[in-house]
Amino acid sequence: KARTKGATVAVPVIQGSIAFWLGPEADEWHSHRWTAYIRGPKNEDLSYFIRYVEFHLHESFHPSKRVVTRPPFELTETGWGEFDLIIRLFFIDNLESPIELVHPLRLFPNPPKDQSVEEPVVNEYYEELVFQDPPEELLAILRMG
């Protein structure tokens, strides 16, 4: 594929998670419900350049690999523990190699709070997906945004 020369495009995305304590429904293995996500900074639909997203969970989840093929690119689960998710982004027509992000899932407030205070725990990071000399087709798509 024809690659452009001297073009760099940085696309801002947010990778994050939000977790809720399940309160009276909580049991030993399922104390929290959480959602991990990739989103645009203003909740833009990212499917104009992201084809699908793989979420790789801790091996205690079966299956541990989850594929989300349409927006919103998010995954909801229940569990008891914190771990690092691997989030792999695949692009339209495989025009660029996948990009991997690591998301540290947080379930517990830091510093710790009385758990009777049922506040969601949000952990978000701003990322820039940087495409260096992307194929012309991808460059056009990214510029149209």
Q: Which residues bind ligand SLL (CB under 6 A)?
A: 29, 58, 60-61, 79-83
User: Which residues fall within 8 angstroms of residue 9, CB to CB, at 6 or more apart?
Assistant: 130, 131, 134, 139, 142, 143
| Shortest spacing between CB 95 and ligand SLL, in angstroms | 35
> CB-wise, 9 or 75, nearer to ligand SLL?
75
| Nearest residue relative to ligand SLL (C-beta) | 79
CA torsion, ordered 73, 7, 132, 94, to nearest 10 deg: 50
> CB-wise, 20 or 61, nearer to ligand SLL?
61
Q: Measured between alpha carbons, how far is 123 from 137 in angstroms, rounded to an integer? A: 34
Other Cβ atoms within 10 Å of 49 Cβ, number:
21
| Shortest spacing between CB 86 and ligand SLL, in angstroms | 14
| Shortest spacing between CB 51 and ligand SLL, in angstroms | 28
DSSP for 28-43, please give it. Answer: SS--EEEEEEEE-TT-
Q: Measured between alpha carbons, how far is 89 from 52 in angstroms, rounded to an integer? A: 6
| Shortest spacing between CB 24 and ligand SLL, in angstroms | 19
> CB-wise, 64 or 94, nearer to ligand SLL?
64
> CB-wise, 44 or 82, nearer to ligand SLL?
82
